[in-house]
C-alpha cells in the first residue's frame, strides 16, 4: 500500500536547533550543525522505521499572502538565527542528494503546500502523513490524511479525525480553524478574541458550530463574553483567514517524483564528511553489505555459548568485534534480564551504552541497553516499545546504574545519563 510522508521543514529544523540550544553541536570548522544533524536524524527515522513509498519536504518560500493581508503576521518573532540560515542550504543539498523533492511555491507557506498535496493525495486513497509539531494541521486530517506529530517524550503520535476532535473537544477537524481564530496564536501573532482561551473557544464552537454562525447570533452569548466577542469581530474574522491552511496552492501532485529512490551516496559522503558527521556517514553511506540479523536463539548466560564462528557472523557489522573472539548475546526476556543483573553486580567495572530513537535526550525513547563487562563479552538488552514494559526492564538495571561501587564507563555518557533519567 502506498504511504506518503510530507515533512514541514522549518518546523522540524527549528525543533532540532533548539533541542541542542544548551549543548550545540559544533564541528572543528566552528559550524553549528545542530539543526542539520537533528533534521537528518529525523529523516532517517522516518525512512527506516516508517518505510514510506513516497516522500517530500516542504519549505516556506518568500513573503506570503498572509503577510500582505496582515503586516503584523509573525512580526513579533525574532530574526531567524544565523546558524539556522546557514543550515538550510546544507539541509536542502542533503535532501536533493537523497533524491527527495524540495516542495515550495512562491508566496505560500509550507503548511499550504502540504495542505494542498495532502488533500489531493488523500482524495486518491493514499495514506498521507504530515510530519509536523504544528497544531494548525489538525484542520486537514481526514480518513486518509493524518498528522504524524513528534512527542515531547520521544516517538511520534498519529492523529486522525477522531484524535483531533477528542484533543480539542470539537465535532469536526475543520473546526480547528474556528478554534484558532477565537484563541488567536501568539506564535503567528494574530489576535483572535482577547480573553478567550481554548476551553471557552471550544464551548462557543460547540454551541454555535462555527464562527460565522456565532457572529450572526452573538446576541445569544451571555454576560461579558458577548461584549468581548462583539468588540473583536474584525480581529476574529482576520484570525480565521490567517489560520486557514490553503488547499488550492498551484502545485501538482506528482506521485512519480515523490517515489522513494536510492540516494546519491557519493554526494552524501562528500557532504557528511565536510560536516564531520561520522555516524550519519555510517548510516547513509557505509552500510554493511549484510544488514544486522537478529539472533533468534535464546542464549543461556551462564552456559557455554557460541562465540565468534556461530554468533559473530550475525553481527559482522560491528567493526570493533571483528578483531577478537567475542560473545555478543541478545537478551529478550525479563527472566534473562534479571539473570544478567545478578551477573553484573559481581563486577567492578561496567561499560554501557543506550540505543534510542533520537539524538535529543529529551525526546529519545529507549530501544535497547548495551553492556560490556570484559574484553570479548557484550550484551544487548532489547527494550519493548510499550512504555510500561520498557520501564519494567529498565528498573531491573536501575540499582546497577546507581551503584557507587561499580565504575561505569562509556562514550558520550552524559547523553546516556539524561536518557536514563527520563526512566527514573
254 located within any domain: yes
Beta bridge partners of 26: 32
Structural element, H or E, at residue 237:
helix 233-243
pLDDT digits (tens, 9 = 90+) for 208-226: 999 999 999 999 998 889 9
7 located within any domain: yes
84 and 181 assigned to the same domain: yes
Phi and psi torsions of 108, nearest 5°: -130, 155
- 3-state SS assignment for residue 405: coil
| CATH number where 124 lies | 3.40.50.1010
354 and 410 assigned to the same domain: yes
Average per-residue pLDDT for the chain = 84
89 and 163 assigned to the same domain: yes
- Average pLDDT, stretch 105-130? 96
Per DSSP, which regions of 51-140 are E strands?
A: 54-58, 102-103, 127-131
Band (293; pLDDT cuts 50, 70, 90): very low
pLDDT digits (tens, 9 = 90+) for 184-212: 877 666 778 888 888 899 999 999 999 99
pTM of the model: 0.68
How many whole angstroms separate alpha carbon 24 and alpha carbon 32?
7
196 and 296 assigned to the same domain: no
Q: Please tell me the predicted confidence (pLDDT) of residue 289.
A: 29
Residue 385: half-sphere exposure toward Cβ, Cα within 13 Å = 4
276 Cβ partners below 8 Å, 6+ apart?
Answer: 27, 28, 29, 33
Residue range of the domain that includes 417: 291-421
- Residue 319 predicted with pLDDT over 70: no
Q: Are 118 and 141 in contact (CB under 8 A)?
A: no
- Residue 177 predicted with pLDDT over 60: yes
265 located within any domain: no
109 and 46 assigned to the same domain: yes
271 located within any domain: no
Q: Please tell me the predicted confidence (pLDDT) of residue 52.
A: 96
Q: Which of 186-190, 323-327, 341-345 has the lowest mean pLDDT?
A: 323-327
Q: Roughly how many angstroms between the first and final C-alpha of the chain, as a whole number?
A: 40
Task: Among 258, 281, 302, give the residue marking a domain's end.
Answer: 258
- Residue 47 predicted with pLDDT over 60: yes
229 and 366 assigned to the same domain: no
- Average pLDDT, stretch 105-128? 96
Band (70; pLDDT cuts 50, 70, 90): low
Cβ-based neighbour number of residue 348 at 10 Å:
8
362 Cβ partners below 8 Å, 6+ apart?
Answer: 19, 152, 154, 418, 422
Q: Please tell me the predicted confidence (pLDDT) of residue 317.
A: 36
Q: Please tell me the predicted confidence (pLDDT) of residue 306.
A: 38
- Residue 318 predicted with pLDDT over 80: no
Q: Please tell me the predicted confidence (pLDDT) of residue 143.
A: 94
Band (34; pLDDT cuts 50, 70, 90): very high
| CATH number where 402 lies | 3.30.420.10
Phi and psi torsions of 356, nearest 5°: -135, 175
Q: Please tell me the predicted confidence (pLDDT) of residue 359.
A: 75
143 and 209 assigned to the same domain: yes
281 located within any domain: no
Q: Please tell me the predicted confidence (pLDDT) of residue 286.
A: 67
- Residue 78 predicted with pLDDT over 80: no
Q: Please tell me the predicted confidence (pLDDT) of residue 391.
A: 92
- 3-state SS assignment for residue 44: helix
289 or 104, which is more confident: 104
Q: Compute and round to an integer the Cα radius of gyration of the chain.
A: 25
pLDDT digits (tens, 9 = 90+) for 134-162: 889 999 999 999 999 988 756 789 999 99
How many whole angstroms separate alpha carbon 128 and alpha carbon 2?
9
- Residue 15 predicted with pLDDT over 50: yes
280 located within any domain: no
Q: Which of 64-68, 79-83, 123-127, 146-150 has the lowest mean pLDDT?
A: 64-68
Band (307; pLDDT cuts 50, 70, 90): very low
Q: Please tell me the predicted confidence (pLDDT) of residue 292.
A: 37
Closest to 294 measured CA to CA, from 357, 365, 373, 368: 368
CA 15 to chain CA mean position, Å:
9
248 and 117 assigned to the same domain: yes
Structural element, H or E, at residue 257:
helix 255-258
- 3-state SS assignment for residue 46: helix
55 and 130 assigned to the same domain: yes
Task: Among 241, 258, 275, give the residue marking a domain's end.
Answer: 258
Task: Among 258, 278, 306, give the residue marking a domain's end.
Answer: 258
How many whole angstroms separate alpha carbon 419 and alpha carbon 399?
16
- CA distances 346 to 242, 301, 379, 399, Å, are 64, 14, 16, 13
What is the total count of domains within the chain?
2
291 or 338, which is more confident: 338
Q: Please tell me the predicted confidence (pLDDT) of residue 92.
A: 97
323 and 253 assigned to the same domain: no
Pairing mode of beta strands 327-331, 54-58:
unpaired
pLDDT digits (tens, 9 = 90+) for 159-173: 999 999 999 999 999
How many whole angstroms separate alpha carbon 277 and alpha carbon 269?
9
All three cell numbers of 41, joined, read 536524524
248 and 318 assigned to the same domain: no
267 located within any domain: no
249 and 296 assigned to the same domain: no
266 located within any domain: no
Amino acid at each position: 500500500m502506498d504511504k506518503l510522508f510530507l515533512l514541514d521543514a522549518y518546523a522540524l529544523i527549528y525543533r532540532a536547533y533548539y533541542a541542542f540550544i544548551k549543548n550545540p553541536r559544533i564541528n572543528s570548522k566552528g559550524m553549528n550543525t545542530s539543526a542539520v544533524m537533528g533534521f537528518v536524524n529525523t529523516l532517517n527515522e522516518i525512512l527506516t522505521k516508517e518505510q514510506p513509498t513516497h516522500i517530500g519536504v516542504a519549505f516556506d518560500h518568500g513573503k506570503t499572502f498572509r503577510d500582505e493581508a496582515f503586516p503584523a503576521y509573525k512580526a513579533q518573532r525574532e530574526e531567524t538565527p544565523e546558524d539556522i540560515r546557514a543550515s538550510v542550504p546544507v539541509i536542502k543539498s542533503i535532501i536533493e542528494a537523497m533524491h527527495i523533492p524540495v516542495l515550495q511555491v512562491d508566496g505560500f507557506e509550507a503548511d499550504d503546500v502540504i495542505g494542498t498535496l495532502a488533500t489531493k493525495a488523500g482524495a486518491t486513497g493514499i495514506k498521507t502523513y504530515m510530519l509536523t509539531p504544528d497544531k494548525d494541521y489538525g484542520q486537514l486530517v481526514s480518513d486518509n490524511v493524518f498528522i504524524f506529530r513528534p512527542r515531547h517524550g520521544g516517538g511520534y503520535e498519529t492523529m486522525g479525525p477522531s484524535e483531533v476532535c477528542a484533543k480539542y473537544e470539537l465535532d469536526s477537524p475543520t473546526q480547528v480553524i474556528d478554534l484558532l481564530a477565537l484563541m488567536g496564536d501568539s506564535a503567528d501573532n494574530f489576535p483572535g478574541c482577547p480573553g478567550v482561551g481554548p476551553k471557552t473557544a471550544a464551548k462557543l464552537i460547540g454551541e454555535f458550530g462555527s464562527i460565522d454562525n456565532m457572529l450572526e447570533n452573538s446576541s445569544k452569548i451571555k454576560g461579558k463574553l458577548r461584549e468581548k466577542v462583539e468588540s473583536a469581530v474584525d480581529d476574529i474574522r482576520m484570525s480565521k483567514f490567517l489560520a486557514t491552511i490553503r488547499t488550492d496552492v498551484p502545485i501538482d501532485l506528482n506521485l512519480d517524483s515523490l517515489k522513494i529512490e536510492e540516494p546519491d551516496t557519493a554526494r552524501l559522503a562528500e557532504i557528511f564528511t565536510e560536516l564531520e558527521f561520522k555516524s550519519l556517514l555510517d548510516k547513509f553511506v557505509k552500510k554493511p553489505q549484510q544488514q544486522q540479523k537478529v539472533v533468534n536463539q535464546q542464549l543461556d548466560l551462564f552456559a557455554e555459548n557460541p562465540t565468534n564462528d556461530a554468533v559473530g557472523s550475525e553481527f559482522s557489522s560491528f567493526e570493533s568485534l571483528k578483531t577478537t573472539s567475542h560473545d555478543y548475546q541478545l537478551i529478550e526476556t525479563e527472566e534473562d534480564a534479571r539473570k544478567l543483573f545478578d551477573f553484573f553486580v559481581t563486577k567492578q567495572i561496567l561499560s554501557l551504552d543506550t540505543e534510542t530513537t533520537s539524538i535529543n535526550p529529551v525526546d529519545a525513547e529507549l530501544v535497547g541497553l548495551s553492556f560490556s563487562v570484559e574484553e570479548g563479552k557484550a550484551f544487548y538488552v532489547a527494550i519493548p516499545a510499550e512504555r510500561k514494559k520498557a520501564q519494567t526492564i529498565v528498573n531491573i538495571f536501575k540499582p546497577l546504574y546507581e551503584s557507587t561501587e561499580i565504575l561505569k564507563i562509556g562514550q558520550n555518557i552524559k547523553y546516556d545519563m539524561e536518557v536514563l533519567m527520563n526512566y527514573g
